[in-house]
Amino acid sequence: MKGLRLYLPPFAPDTSGAAAVLYPLGGMVVIVDAGGCAGNICGFDEPRWQEEGAKSAVFSAGLRDMDAIMGRDDKLIEKVRLACEEIEPQFIAFIGTPVPAVIGTDYRALTRMAKKATGLPAIAVDSDGTKLYDAGGGKALLALCRAFAKGQTAGHCGTIGLLGLTPLDFSAGERDRLADALREEGWSAVCCYDRLTDFTQPCCRKNLVVSPLGLPAARFLAEHCGIPYEIGLPGAFLNDLAAKIASGLAKEDHVLIIHQQVLAGALRRALRQGGHHGPITCATFFEQPAGTSEPGDAVFREEDEFQAFVAGGRFTAIVGDPSLRRALPSFGGRFLALPHFAVSGTTSAS
């Protein structure tokens, strides 16, 4: 049944993916909602609020019934103008939710009004709360590139960019290990696209797409700024992760890896290079871009699809977020933890 969940939690939606991309950039992020979506983002889908204590200006539009019905955008813009006088953001970003999607909010008009009222750049992400985090995060990265990077040229230094690096896919520790692994490979600096100047003054010689949500921006930067890109993860990072996973596997295990497709596929290659002889299948509940999968890989849209795939797959080991284990009460093989915050809202391996 479409949308039925008996075991799995709701995954991070597109609104949360967009907010995760925008969180560290110094802008004013306005969730165009009545308050509920902003509460979910700040309370459940953004670990930096609790873990790092880093500041970010995230507001709810606080839409009321008549505001939504009558389309009173002028009231929202006045709120934005007054808030700008208090916090002095570098830009304004509107993130869509189900309410503006239903009433057909004109985001281009909204950004024009915001620019006129505040004198600041403004972008909008037309997320609607019904898709998953990678769709919204990809739209946010692309909107930033279109607004700030178009017309810029690539850098010629030894800097590599990481596109798609958000805490919904990678913990703070994994982020640090990724940067260390790239420096071991000879890169002098790592750009995480977590400052506005990373878009306005691109300095990367190459971009590395570490999750599917970074792919639309990578394509844009390649076309308009001449920055080439690859999809994957650095070898040193993968070797450490693969060694940890392999320690819980038998060499002949039939393995299913469930995560975002870039990490899952990269981990598969590292396990094979490390000597795993059994078949390895990758699966995801999120985007599976062309060229990142092998025959037999799967994309799940519903909980029962996941259960049926595992039941018919003869897998002896599953690698995935621990919360997925609840949906497989009859699975008798090994289940190895690979936490995915976008799935469970936690980085815990238990």
Kindly write down the DSSP assignment for every residue of 120-166, as one continuous string.
Answer: S-EEEE---SSSBHHHHHHHHHHHHIIIIITT-----SSEEEEES--
Q: What single letter denotes the amino acid at residue 336? A: L
Can you give the pTM of this predicted structure? 0.93
User: What is the set of domains in the chain, with CATH numbers?
Assistant: 14-148 (3.40.50.1980), 159-231 (3.40.50.1980), 237-344 (3.40.50.980)
Nearest-CA neighbor of 41 among 30, 53, 28?
30
Q: In order along the chain (350 residues), what is the average pLDDT of each group of 10 residues?
A: 86 95 95 77 76 77 69 85 93 92 88 96 95 97 93 75 96 93 93 93 90 96 93 93 94 97 97 95 96 95 96 95 96 96 83
Contacts of 212 (CB under 8 A, 6+ apart): 134, 138, 164, 260, 261, 262, 286, 287, 288, 289, 292
